[in-house]
Amino acid sequence: MSSLFPTFARYPITLVKGKGSRLWDDQGKEYLDFMTGIAVTSLGHVPERVKNALVSQLDQLWHVSNLFYNPNQEKAAKLLTDNSCADAVFFCNSGAEANEAAIKLARRYHQKVLGNGRYEIITFTRSFHGRTLATLTATGQDKVKEGFLPLPEGFVHVPLNDLAALEAAVNDKTAAIMLELIQAEGGVHEVDPAFLRAVRELCDRQGLLLIVDEIQTGMGRTGKMFAYEHYGIEPDIFTLAKGIGSGFPVGAMLAKAPLIPAFTAGSHGSTFSGTPIATAAVAATIETMLLEQAPERAAASGELLIGKLKEALNGLPNVVEVRGKGLLVGIECAGPVADIVAALQHRGLLVITAGPNVLRLLPNLLVTAEEIEEAVAIIAAVLSEQAAALSAKQ
């Protein structure tokens, strides 16, 4: 009997080794990894430059606390600000913590810098922002909130891409609007570009902050280093985790210069924020992404993957739509996909869901054309067989 809480619905697979796009289980079975730990191992498994940086750091220093200067933190932060619209970085340990920091910064900026007392954050239905009490309250899905009442006040949800509903929700307590540019957990739904531009204009007009949750879309995943770059807008605050550390647990909250005075000494913190080991992984990950042109490669590979999927799945009655951006791809099916995921695993391909009816594909950003061809062939075979079986029952 396991000594762990049963909080994860685990697949019946024990993975013990990984390299590049491949994983192996404890029985020696090989898998093509198109889930990358849910968009985490974005350079593939055990990338050489990141491994070397971690090995080197392990021989030097692990932890000293943020009461001392940390050169790795400074290096990683500068790489992030040099390659984004942000001016300052707060490192943390996860995506939920990054979003917590964003929420706290938005409230504190309004209350301590502007002095207006605003605190409400508007978010969107189908969104996912984390599992702490504040971030699950911000999340626009009821299923993550069951059994955790009472939830903290200060969050309002409206439908994505509904400008009238958004404008109606803004009041004198509103501090910020927070959104994902692609709702990955919510089914791989992209924000409408015209709506996003209107949101940015609304924030500017009403004195609100725009927070973009880039936990899953950031770090090259969508074909740009950060997804906001696709839309011609800049957020005031944005958050990162998942792919930022190549599998090492680390997150970051980034903001523009006017917000820096809101986070004074002692206003926010974390014991394990930006340790020498974590920020060594971040710096090496970003350097590798820049050196390998990973975002550009993700853009090209995503176009290839989506095109091949549409071609291979065209006409199948059990496939509703193929959608996505870069290497964040969803295949919406006509029914539940849990059995399809299991069938793909049996054939050596790992994918994940995005809601009950959507297969989510998240290969690493350096995936090869041959690996894409291999994955598409397996997916097409499984979905074709399912379509034939459904047809035979009718």
Active-site residue, from 90, 124, 128, 248:
128
Amino acid, single-letter form, for residue 102: A
The question of whether 87 is a catalytic residue gets the answer: no
Exposure letters 286-304 (e unless 16+ CB within 10 A, then b): bbbbeebebbebbbebbee
The question of whether 68 is a catalytic residue gets the answer: no
Active-site residue, from 34, 124, 242, 263:
242
Contact 57, 285 (CB under 8 A): no
Q: Nearest to residue 218, comparing CAs of 190, 192, 238, 203?
A: 238
Distance CA 242, CA 185 (A): 13
CA angle 126, 128, 132 (to 5 degrees): 135
Q: Sheet harboring 88-92: ordered strands across?
A: 88-92, 251-255, 237-240, 209-213, 174-179, 120-124, 155-158
Contacts 24+ apart (CB under 8 A), 154-158: 154/107, 154/119, 154/120, 154/121, 155/120, 155/121, 155/122, 155/123, 156/120, 156/121, 156/122, 156/123, 157/122, 157/123, 157/124, 157/125, 157/127, 158/122, 158/124, 158/125
The question of whether 224 is a catalytic residue gets the answer: no
DSSP letters spanning 137-198:
HHSS-GGGTTT-PSPPS-EEEE-TT-HHHHHHH--TTEEEEEE-SEETTTTSEEPPHHHHHH
Active-site residue, from 33, 91, 155, 213:
213
| Active-site residue set | 128, 213, 242
